[in-house]
Each structure stands twice: as structure tokens, then as C-alpha cells.
């Protein structure tokens, strides 16, 4: 018996980052990397304080985004764009949406 498996015809593997138990999808990953890059560039251009403020604001925004999407889909089966469409439809049509988001 082999201790490994061979998967043929695998074209891609989805990468998921977890931060504090919250799943960060593709959009959040790219946004986090861009926030870090912009903050690094701001250190060179404007100094440490504007870079720190930019990083904290970006980090909190991305964290709230990821927490909201993880509350919509706790199993992690939906993609980010699908969850965003569900969220926007639910916020536009609150009475006819199929899901309940307490606190939003």
C-alpha cells in the first residue's frame, strides 16, 4: 500500500489562507498583498506613520470583508464572487433573501 496518492489531470489547486480561523479567499489574499506592497512603498515615500495608518485601515477592511463572507458560507464551498453576489442581493432585497445575517 502506498503512503501517497497520484492525481492525474489536476490543473490547479485552490490556495486558502486562514487568519484567526477565518478563511481568506482569492480576493482577500490579493488585497492583503497589495496592502502590504502599498504600505512598504509609503514607508519610502511618506514615512512610517502614513504607511502604518494605511496598513491598519486596509487590514481592518480586509478582515471585516473576510469575516462577513465566512459568515455567509461557513462550509467554504462558495467562491468569493458568488458570496459577494449573495451579500449584495441580500442587502438590496432583505425581505426576500434566503439567508439571515444577524447584525448586518
The angle, 0 to 180 degrees and rounded to 10, between the axes of the packed helices 48-72 and 80-92 is 80
For the chain, the domains span 23-74
pLDDT category at 4 given cuts 50, 70, 90 is low
pLDDT category at 103 given cuts 50, 70, 90 is low
Residue scoring higher pLDDT (99 or 31): 31
pLDDT surpassing 80 at residue 1: no
The values of phi and psi at residue 7, to 5°, are -110, 115
State pLDDT tens for residues 62-100.
888 888 888 777 777 777 788 778 777 777 766 655 555
Cα distance between residue 26 and residue 39, in whole Å = 20
pLDDT category at 40 given cuts 50, 70, 90 is very high
Amino acid at each position: 500500500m502506498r503512503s501517497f496518492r497520484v492525481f492525474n489531470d489536476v490543473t490547479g489547486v485552490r490556495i486558502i489562507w486562514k487568519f484567526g480561523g477565518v478563511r481568506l479567499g482569492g480576493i482577500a489574499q490579493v488585497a492583503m498583498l497589495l496592502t502590504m506592497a502599498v504600505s512598504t512603498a509609503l514607508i519610502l515615500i511618506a514615512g512610517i506613520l502614513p504607511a502604518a495608518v494605511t496598513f491598519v485601515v486596509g487590514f481592518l477592511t480586509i478582515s471585516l470583508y473576510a469575516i462577513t463572507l465566512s459568515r455567509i458560507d461557513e462550509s467554504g464551498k462558495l467562491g468569493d464572487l458568488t458570496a459577494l453576489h449573495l451579500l449584495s442581493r441580500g442587502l438590496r432585497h432583505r425581505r426576500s433573501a434566503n439567508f439571515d445575517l444577524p447584525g448586518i
